[in-house]
Amino acid sequence: MANNNYNLEQLVDQLVAQLQDYIRAHQLGDPVMVGIHRSGVWLAQVLHQRLGIREELGEINVSFYRDDFRRSGLPIQTQPTRLPLSLEDRHVLLIDDVIHSGRTVRAALNELFDYGRPASVTLAVLVARQHRELPIEPQLSVLQEEPGRAFNYQISGPEPMTMTLVRKAG
């Protein structure tokens, strides 16, 4: 089983290096960075600053785009989506903390396309779990591990931002 606590600073350093290499290798001039609420935005804020991206950081809330919206009902608290007026022909760096089923990323892609047709979307995450329910994979990830369905990664923050592996209640 995986460690319970993670050195988030080291993981972020690795993701910054991966993003720098990817941006350079794929010649992504002037990309737009978008974080998925909530902890994906926290991570994106750090990455945005460290990469020196000029465009304002975008934030996306996928609550109303989730395919389980009817089952789970309205979220208790939602932050608004804030994106550049148009993503048309822009290279988008989509940031989240953990990918598991792929449903959150699918919802984020649906919402992104409401703001235009990006030239490309690059998904970067800290942790890529297994058991994808949709054929969505990140281009960049630091950890590829599966602690088991009884565990979740808990991200708290934004200052300080920490990541802990916790057993689900029940």
The pLDDT tens digits of the residues spanning 113-156 come to 999 999 999 999 999 999 899 999 999 999 999 999 899 998 88
Q: What is the pTM of this model?
A: 0.91
Give residue 68's pLDDT band: very low, low, confident or very high (50, 70, 90).
low
Q: Is 58's pLDDT higher than 70?
A: yes
What are the C-alpha distances in Å from 137 to residues 128, 132, 164? 8, 8, 22
Give residue 1's pLDDT band: very low, low, confident or very high (50, 70, 90).
very low
Give residue 67's pLDDT band: very low, low, confident or very high (50, 70, 90).
low
Residue ranges with strand state E in 12-167:
32-36, 58-60, 91-99, 120-128, 140-144, 151-156, 162-167
Q: Is 63's pLDDT higher than 90?
A: no
Q: What mean pLDDT do residues 37-64 have?
A: 93
Q: Is 51's pLDDT higher than 80?
A: yes
Whether the Cβ atoms of residue 42 and residue 35 lie closer than 8 Å to each other: yes
Chain segment 85-123, per-residue pLDDT in tens: 789 999 999 999 999 999 999 999 999 999 999 999 999
In the DSSP assignment, the letter for residue 63 is G
Whether the Cβ atoms of residue 147 and residue 1 lie closer than 8 Å to each other: yes
Chain segment 11-32, per-residue pLDDT in tens: 999 999 999 999 999 999 899 9
Beta bridge partners of 5: 164
Q: Is 77's pLDDT higher than 80?
A: no
| Residues in contact with 160: Cβ distance below 8 Å, sequence separation at least 6, in sequence order | none
Strands 151-156 and 162-167: antiparallel
Q: What type of residue is 9?
A: E
Whether the bond into 75 is cis, omega within 30 of 0? no
Full set of structural domains in the chain with CATH:
8-19+30-167 (3.40.50.2020)
Q: What mean pLDDT do residues 46-56 have?
A: 95
Tokens at 152, concatenated: 């979740």
Query: Mean pLDDT score of the chain, rounded to an integer?
Result: 89
Tokens at 29, concatenated: 């001039």
What is the CB neighbour count within 10 angstroms for residue 18? 15
The residue among 81, 92, 85 whose CA lies nearest residue 115 is 85
Phi and psi (nearest 5°) for 166? -130, 150
